[in-house]
Chains A and B, each alone.
Chain A
Amino acid sequence: MNDPMNGHGPDERGQFVSGDVAWGGRYMPEALIAELDELTRVWTEAMVDPTFTGEFQRMLAEYANVPSPLYDATRISEQAGARILLKREDLNHTGAHKIRNVLGQALLAKRMGKTRMIAETGAGQHGVATATAAAYLSLDCVVYMGKVDTERQALNVARMNLLGAEVVAVDSGSQTLKDAINEAIRDWVATVEHTAYCFGTAAGPHPFPAMVRDFCRGIGDEARAQVLELTGALPDVVTACVGGGSNAIGMFTAFLDDEVRIVGFEAGGDGVDTDRHAATIYAGEAGVLHGARTYVLQDEDGQTIESHSISAGLDYPGVGPQHAYLAHTGRAEYQPVTDAEAMDALALLARTEGIICAIESAHALAGSLRLAAENPGSTILVNLSGRGDKDMGTAIEWFGLGRPQ
């Protein structure tokens, strides 16, 4: 953690430069620039302050159950024809990698003297994680959630309420994640003096993409050491699902300088040949969304197009700018995985290994099974970013579960 930038950017303006494209940066109202500068300064200092990094590591270990284990998934490997290693982020407190990011940002908020933390959430996972960290560190918490999502995810709204957070239903625009982000930014413009914005993914304006990456990079750092210990070699391929891309960049960062193939799997929804998907890198075009230059699903006038995925966590029409950069430079590949492929993988993992993973993570697994078929005998490290309890409603509907047979 001695080099917050890890030698992989961004530059001091928050840009990941590839050829003539500067991904990332800061396309934000002037009113927030001073705060973003201050956040950058405090974060940069904190990451080389042993008091901060020690406290962060202590919280991760004692509270969040980190490091998560690496699991040699021999039964599914047998079916896949390749060795599948699962990084079990689903076993973290609150059930996903996201606890790493929110604990980091909440600790930073305390360091900056903030008393209130706001967040956006889609299905509610980041909202629950933020509410958890806010409760743990005694911060007031308000979570913005699209009205449509609050209705679809009433259980998570209840969890946030139980944790002491206020949930605001956002009824503007498409009433989903991107509108929740817009509303959180609007709140922040007015409350920035005492409020921290705990952004849920490695996207948005600088320093969020790099900051969220660095709070999540333990995933890859741990997994790399765990794989070396288990197999004596690096994996052939490292994979993760990509929505905004925090779990993916957290996994990939440790392997950027290795001779390891890196593949991210985006939500292909009904298929990338339909208009119902969230394959931002595969099907989007360069633009600016939520403060960063990145790939965006947009129409010919630059209006954001609504994304679609069975997985709420991947249902976002933008993507973190470092992923755009890695795709543009060719260092990482990004492929779409459809709803159906993901749900098949989810069922297979449940039956072969007794693990019900999140539908987001099932995208990573599904794509990895495809890679396994193409490269038999290879070793594939998959980030199993979250657990599937939250997705049972979707699974019941998709598979027709719970009916007498």
Chain B
Amino acid sequence: MSVTSTATAFERTRAEGRAALVGYLPAGYPDVPGAIEALKVMVEAGCDIIEIGLPYSDPVMDGPTIQAAAQQALEGGIRTADVLRTVEAVAATGTPTLVMTYWNPIERFGVERFAQGLVDAGGAGLITPDLTPDSAAPWIEAADARDLDKVFLVAPSSTDERIAMTTAASRGFVYATAVMGVTGARASTSDLAGPLVARAKATTNLPIGVGLGVSNGTQAAEVAGYADAVIVGSAFVRTLLDAGTDRQAGLAALRKLTEDLADGVRRG
């Protein structure tokens, strides 16, 4: 399968003079087919890049919303192979698809084996919230051998030296965490994000995506004013959690939110 790279997506959004919308859902919530269906709705309604979360028992960077969905996915028996299956189904739409994961499950599966599995599934790369480049030698090697994206995170607390080190090790884009805190929708966007994006941009030509807290089109437009991508996770998960067992209602709400956010990144 040919991999659609995030670079292709960013070329398009840059040509259109706008930021990209990056949407996240964990695999396996509400179940494996249900997550695939939801992710496809997000693609149809305007996400330019998809992040698929690999549910993990000890997600220290996630707030209550994503924890709850990931926990339910684990209770539903999600396996690492199911995550790759989800990637394959979503990547088949032609939208670049990354996996966001804590490190231990990848190491346990085998770094080389997972990297190859990702390539075989048409996945674009990995976002690694608890793996910084200075601890990531095996992943960097496996990714570089396959031209996979390595999306590392920078934070408001990162020193200039660490930002330079992190952007130099990244491929695809760089994930700027807008707030000091865990994932979760927030009422207002952070005033820490703009300066962080500027500091990151000073070190790289890679696109800079901003995540943590964005939940509506207005916020997306604001972030799109200074970032190359607006990353949304908890707000999407929330629509599904709130709809409970009424899956059609959940998908409808998901579509509506995606459209609102997609409109937002075009206004930014």
Contact = CB atoms under 8 A, between A and B. Distances in A.
Nearest to B157: A34
Interface of A: 13, 25-35, 172-173, 178-179, 182, 185-186, 189-190, 192-193, 287-291, 296, 298, 300-304
A26 B71 contact: no
B81 to A, nearest CB: 9
Contact of A30 (B63, B64, B103, B158): B158
6 contacts: A30-B158, A31-B157, A179-B58, A189-B60, A302-B106, A303-B57
B182 A290 contact: no
B107 A302 contact: yes
Contacts of A34: 155, 157-159, 162
Contacts of A172: 64, 67, 71
Contacts of B108: 287, 298, 300-302
Given A288-B103, A288-B107, A301 B80 contact: yes
Given A29-B155, A33-B132, A173-B71, A190 B58 contact: no
B105 interface: yes
Contacts of B71: 172-173
A30 B57 contact: no
Contact of A302 (B109, B135, B156, B179): B109
Query: Which of B129, B155, B162, B166 has most A Cβ within 10 Å?
Result: B155
B132 to A, nearest CB: 5
B59 interface: yes
Contacts of B177: 29-31
B74 interface: yes
B60 A27 contact: no
Decide if the interface of chain B is mainly helix, strand, loop or mixed. Answer: loop
A126 B104 CA distance: 27
A238 to B, nearest CB: 32
A182 B102 CA distance: 13
Given A29-B155, A172-B64, A287-B104, A190 B180 contact: yes
B125 to A, nearest CB: 17
A246 B106 CA distance: 29
A182 B56 contact: no
B92 interface: no
B246 to A, nearest CB: 25
B267 interface: no
Contact of A31 (B79, B134, B155, B159): B155
B109 A301 contact: yes
B34 interface: no
B104 A182 contact: no
B58 A186 contact: no
A173 B132 contact: no
B157 A192 contact: yes
Given A189-B181, A296-B104, A30 B154 contact: yes
Shortest Cβ-Cβ A-B pairs, 4 listed:
A302-B108, A31-B155, A302-B105, A190-B181
Contacts of A298: 104, 108
Query: Which of B105, B152, B159 has most A Cβ within 10 Å?
Result: B105
Interface in B118-147: 129-132, 134-135
B60 A185 contact: yes
Nearest to A287: B104
Nearest to B63: A186
A29 B130 contact: yes
Contacts of B182: 186, 189-190
Contacts of B80: 301-302
Nearest to A179: B58
B215 to A, nearest CB: 18
A174 to B, nearest CB: 8
Contacts of A33: 132, 157-158, 162
B61 A189 contact: yes
B180 A29 contact: no
Contacts of B130: 27-29, 288, 291
B153 interface: yes
Nearest to B55: A303
B60 A182 contact: yes
Nearest to A285: B108
A23 B171 CA distance: 27
A301 B131 contact: no
Nearest to A301: B80
Nearest to B175: A30
Given A29-B60, A192-B157, A298-B108, 7 more contacts: A30-B157, A33-B158, A34-B155, A173-B71, A288-B130, A301-B105, A302-B105
A30 B166 contact: yes
Nearest to B105: A302
A97 B74 CA distance: 37
Contacts of A290: 58, 60
Contacts of A185: 60
Contacts of B62: 186
Interface in B167-189: 177, 179-182
B109 A29 contact: no
B180 A173 contact: no
A178 B132 contact: no
A190 B47 CA distance: 29
B36 to A, nearest CB: 19
A118 B29 CA distance: 32
